[in-house]
Amino acid sequence: MVFELLRKGRELADGLGGRLCVVVLDAGLQPEADSFIQRGADKVFVIDNPALEGSLPEPSTDAICRLASQSTPQVLLIGSTKKGNDIAARVAARLETGVITNCLTVSLDREARAIIADRPSYGGILTSTETCTTKPQILTIPPRVLEPAATSESLHGEVVRTEMNVEPAKSRVVQTAPKQIKGVKLEDANIVVTVGRGLAKKEDVRIIEELAKVLGGEVGCSSPLAEDLKWLPTEQLVGLTGHKVKPKLYLACGISGQAQHITGMRDSHVVVAINNDPEAPIFQQSDYCIIGDMYEFVPALTETFRRILQK
């Protein structure tokens, strides 16, 4: 993710005629500092303070704001993770500036020295083009939206390690339980088969799993199944409030195609939809449309794929 921000950061720094600094909030990452220089950073600050460990936003907010008051950055780029967005919001509030979160694209208006970013709005129905008019301009960008920076050994820069005084968090992490990620992460999957309200009972997800298995793909779902019915975990949720996927093949089974869902799969290369309702909005977002019952077509497709792919 850092390499992706570095490439965009370099582009923006060059356009604005400024320097690109990476702030590393985990002293354990110091060995990576040189790789950041080789990918375009002019300077790397490694802040050594154990208070910065973990996912609570307050200590990182303090560290970034202290650095910002010393070096008055024009732009802050932060990865759009839950922690990143929390930190970006707190930093922006403290520095009395704006944040554009979950950017889809980031570009520079050289004349205005302003960064223009697109992000989804109204559940993803619209793409909103925004700019922050106060400094620093803060943007959070999700992983896999940007291309990573290439490495070049001819690049040089400065690595500074500092033991900064940082206000520790008042909250305390009592326990961390890693999530069991079944199979491949949806964001990395080449083939994703998703199911929506067309699923009549929780157990029937089996037919979707069989299709995914024959294709070597992963199973996802729409918001109603994960957030309302809770038949599938949110780890499998594709959409605005879940995962964004960009597989080669996306199969939407019994999914109506609400805007929030489309936002999660819009970048799929080829989209197939199966839905009983010829008016379902999903068909507008699909390459191949099957108007029919998913309970008929999903098993039939599984059989056909099995037969033809195993030839």
Partner 1 sequence: MVQIIVCIKQVYDIGGLKVDQKTRSLITERVERKVSDFDKNALEEALRIREKQGGSVIAITLGTSAANDALREALNMGVDEAYLVDVGDMEELDARVISDLLAEAIRRIGGFDLLICGEASVDMYAAQVGPRIAERLGIPLVSHARSVSVNGSIVMAERDLEDSYETVEASMPLLLTVTKEINEPRIPKITMVIKASKKTVKALQARELGISLTPSVKVLKALAPVTERKREIIGGKTEEITESLVRQLLRDGVVGG
DSSP string, 47-101: E--GGG-SS-HHHHHHHHHHHHHHH--SEEEEE-SHHHHHHHHHHHHHHT--EE-
Among 31, 70, 96, 154, binds partner 1 (CB under 8 A): 96
Place of tokens 């979950």: 102
Q: Nearest CA to 130 among 110, 145, 116, 109?
A: 116
Strands 114-121 vs 158-162: parallel, antiparallel or unpaired: unpaired
- Binders of partner 1 among residues 29 to 58 (CB under 8 A) are 55-58
Tell me the backbone φ, ψ of residue 146, rounded to 5 degrees. Answer: -105, 160
Which residues, in sequence order, are CB contacts of 134 under 8 Å at separation 6+?
A: 96, 97, 98
If binding is defined by CB under 8 A, does position 234 make contact with partner 1?
yes
- Binders of partner 1 among residues 114 to 133 (CB under 8 A) are 116, 119-123, 125-133
If binding is defined by CB under 8 A, does position 60 make contact with partner 1?
no
If binding is defined by CB under 8 A, does position 261 make contact with partner 1?
no
Residue 288 has what DSSP assignment?
A: E
Contact between 209 and 221 under an 8 Å Cβ cutoff? The reply is: no
Residue 243 has what DSSP assignment?
A: B
| Shortest distance (Å) from residue 160 CB to partner 1 | 27
- Binders of partner 1 among residues 204 to 223 (CB under 8 A) are 215
| Shortest distance (Å) from residue 44 CB to partner 1 | 25
Place of tokens 């299709």: 211
If binding is defined by CB under 8 A, does position 287 make contact with partner 1?
yes
Place of tokens 């039939």: 300
If binding is defined by CB under 8 A, does position 285 make contact with partner 1?
yes
State how far the Cα of 265 lies from the Cα of 64, in Å rounded to an integer: 34
* Residue with Cβ nearer partner 1 (44 or 212): 212
* Residue with Cβ nearer partner 1 (41 or 251): 251
Among 171, 188, 200, 277, binds partner 1 (CB under 8 A): 171
Tell me the backbone φ, ψ of residue 79, rounded to 5 degrees. Answer: -65, 135
If binding is defined by CB under 8 A, does position 240 make contact with partner 1?
yes
Q: Which amino acid is at 279?
A: E
Among 205, 271, 280, 294, binds partner 1 (CB under 8 A): 271
* Residue with Cβ nearer partner 1 (82 or 206): 82
* Residue with Cβ nearer partner 1 (37 or 99): 99
* Residue with Cβ nearer partner 1 (33 or 271): 271
If binding is defined by CB under 8 A, does position 102 make contact with partner 1?
yes
Query: What is the number of other CB atoms lying within 10 angstroms of the CB of residue 161?
Result: 13
Query: What is the number of other CB atoms lying within 10 angstroms of the CB of residue 10?
Result: 17
Residue 50 has what DSSP assignment?
A: G
| Shortest distance (Å) from residue 296 CB to partner 1 | 6
Among 170, 201, 203, 206, binds partner 1 (CB under 8 A): 170
If binding is defined by CB under 8 A, does position 82 make contact with partner 1?
yes
If binding is defined by CB under 8 A, does position 149 make contact with partner 1?
no
Contact between 151 and 40 under an 8 Å Cβ cutoff? The reply is: no
If binding is defined by CB under 8 A, does position 286 make contact with partner 1?
yes
